[in-house]
Amino acid sequence: MKQIEQPLYPKLSSIYNKILQLAIAILLIVLLMDFWVTSRDTQQMHIQDHANKIGKLYLAQAATSAMPYLAQKPNQLQQYTDTLVQQPLVKSVHIYGITGQAMASSEQAESINDLFGISIRKINQTGDVFPFVQELRSDKLHGYIRLSLHRSMLADELADNSRSQYDIMRILMIVAGVIGFLLTRGLNRFSRQGFRPPTK
């Protein structure tokens, strides 16, 4: 007697299931990586926004302190700028009059052209500092103050910590994926061995 051929449908169904599982796994990996990258970029934006807010608060305090000197004791403005630049966060200080003329500036303070690399043989320094400008005003305009604050103290440390956390998260996701793969293989092997049909 001829042996009855087994239909191919179970084999094809098994292949389709494996392909479907593989496609779902790849899709989940892509979605997970997209979520990870988006979360990291969003966190970096929040850090920059936070640094900008802190810088503006510091600038507002400096402007409030500079107002009495500019309005009543302009001859002491240079002393004030020299004191302010001694703060670790501050790289340079400029104080201008109403017309924009420089009235006081800290030692080795850079001009706007130097800061943005517009001057000849000068490089753009905005990657290292945050420049902030604010009016010095009470009932009328008295002038302007410009601070250059160290970016490393405002944002870089937080950004580095954030990147470290996301790197650790990425490693944990990879380890979790490997563990899931090994568990799946182990359970499949156990299932095949434990549910063999009885031999006649």
Give the H/E segment covering residue 140.
none
State residue 60's pLDDT score.
92
* Contact status, residue 70 vs residue 62, Cβ threshold 8 Å: no
**Residue 126: is its pLDDT beyond 60?**
yes
The pLDDT confidence band at residue 144, using thresholds 50, 70 and 90, is very high
Q: Which range, of 89-93, 102-106, 177-181, averages the lowest pLDDT?
A: 177-181
pTM given for the model:
0.62
**β-bridge partners, 143:** 136
**Residue 91: is its pLDDT beyond 70?**
yes
Q: In the CATH hierarchy, which fold is given to the domain comprising 12-192?
A: Beta-Lactamase (3.30.450)
What are the structural domain ranges in the chain?
Answer: 12-192
State residue 195's pLDDT score.
47
Give DSSP secondary structure letters for 157-193: HHHHHHHHHHHHHHHHHHHHHHHHHHHHHHHHHHHHH
Mean pLDDT of the chain: 77
**Residue 15: is its pLDDT beyond 80?**
no
State residue 1's pLDDT score.
46
